Amino acid sequence: MGAFRTIDDLDVAGRRVLLRGDLNVPMADGRVSDTTRLDRLAPTVSELAGKGARVIVLSHFGRPKGEPNPEFSLKPVVPALEAALGGRTVAFAPDCIGAAASAVTEALGDGEVALLENLRFHPGEEANDPGFARALAALGELYVNDAFSAAHRAHASTEAIAHILPAAAGRAMQAELEALSKALDDPERPLAALVGGAKVSSKIAVLENLAARVDAIVIGGAMANTFLHARGIDVAASLMEPDFVGTARDVEAAASEAGCALLLPEDAVVAAALAPGVETRTVPIDAVPAGAMILDVGPASVAALKAALGGWRTLVWNGPLGAFETPPFDAGTVAAARAAAARTKAGQLLTVAGGGDTVAALAHAGVAGDFSYVSTAGGAFLEWLEGKALPGVEALRAEG
């Protein structure tokens, strides 16, 4: 992928810098309940402020549908943002454009920080409206985007504005782009992908893109059931998508055409129902009893995966290998996660993982910190796995 600009390419001292963050944080009882996104943005804010910039933070929050709605105000996020910044004061503007915004941004001194009200209170944001982008751009002189998780959307604050002001990636965006690039654009090979989760139907484009680019795909989770059925294996009462058996066959054909090995589970942990404390059995994959559901990969599958891991240099992972939220069906995912983490710690493997449930599964396994990179970007991470160009990233590419 072409080079993109970073903060190193901007002279920010004394300048008003519009910083697009993702402050779409979970709230409980009017307070931020998970500060991960604030913590990821904080280093960029601190670096800019430390260099004497006047930092103006922009973000969306929830889905207010283009009109002001106090339920979706960013104001309650201010104290948590101040805490994430080590106690630095953050001014708040009750609108993100116009006089209410400029009154706050004009009052900023060098090294000071302001947060503007929810971008999505204006319909121009999601419409990528040039007039709205110009109104945002009028508040600053430089633009920095640190919201990879919003980069798959061509919105005024992620796309149009980057063509109006000198634009660069913030440090979190930069780290994400560098990690993803090392994993898929310019990987050390052999490169493998671990794809699991519930449905083939939600990951068709991911599977197609990976089949063309990686050396091996290991399929787990309920999505493996559709592939197993396509190979003529009886998956009994397991989750399976009959309408996507053809898709599974197409992916198998594309993989074999591209010289990509496709590995399916050899055994499974089955039960009569997905419930805690239910009686389980481990069976060979071609011996799933009538009425039983496949809820995790079995020990032979995990052993095969571990053996294969030893030969890989790069691993991309999206999707749990079983119904990990309900023990003991977390065992396969946890064992695979720990094995990948150990190889990473030993310097033998570059590991990049992402996806809402995948991040939760790695945290559950206690190894999220041991992977080379864990993306919390959700939709943007999946679109990147699909090989799509992300508008918010494309807009940061260095010209020429």
Out of 52, 111, 356, 378, pick the active-site residue. Answer: 356
Q: Is 356 a catalytic residue?
A: yes
Q: Tell me: does residue 265 bind ligand ADP (CB under 6 A).
A: no
Structural contact between residues 23 and 147, judged by C-beta atoms closer than 8 angstroms: no
Structural contact between residues 371 and 362, judged by C-beta atoms closer than 8 angstroms: yes
On the CB side of 244, CA atoms within 13 Å amount to: 21
Residue 175 interaction partner, one of Mg ion, ligand ADP, none, beta carbon < 5-8 Å per kind: none
Q: Is 86 a catalytic residue?
A: no
Structural contact between residues 87 and 78, judged by C-beta atoms closer than 8 angstroms: no
Q: Which residues bind Mg ion (CB under 5 A)?
A: 356-357
How far from each other are the two terminal CA atoms of the chain, in whole angstroms? 13
Number of residues that bind ligand ADP (CB under 6 A): 20
Q: Tell me: does residue 76 bind ligand ADP (CB under 6 A).
A: no
Q: Is 343 a catalytic residue?
A: no
Residue closer to ligand ADP, measured from CB, 170 or 196: 196
From 79, 134, 90, 138, select the one nearest 116 (Cα to Cα). Answer: 90
Query: What burial class does residue 30 get, using C-beta atoms within 10 Å of its C-beta: 0-12 exposed, 13-18 middle, 19+ buried?
Result: exposed
Q: Tell me: does residue 319 bind ligand ADP (CB under 6 A).
A: yes
Residue 208 interaction partner, one of ligand ADP, Mg ion, none, beta carbon < 5-8 Å per kind: none
Which region, judged by CB under 6 A, interacts with ligand ADP, from 53-61, 103-111, 159-167, 317-325?
317-325
Strand order in the sheet with 54-58: 90-93, 113-116, 54-58, 16-20, 142-145, 167-169
Out of 5, 20, 37, 153, pick the active-site residue. Answer: 37
Out of 199, 249, 306, 397, pick the active-site residue. Answer: 199
Residues in the chain: 400
Q: Is 379 a catalytic residue?
A: yes
Structure tokens at 19: 């910083």
Identify the three-state secondary structure at position 31. strand
Q: Tell me: does residue 219 bind ligand ADP (CB under 6 A).
A: no
Q: Tell me: does residue 295 bind ligand ADP (CB under 6 A).
A: yes
Choose, by CB under 6 A, the member of 197, 298, 328, 392 that binds ligand ADP. 197
Give catalytic residue positions.
Answer: 37, 199, 356, 379
- Which residues bind to ligand ADP, rule: CB under 6 A? 196-198, 202, 221-222, 239, 294-295, 318-320, 322-325, 355-358
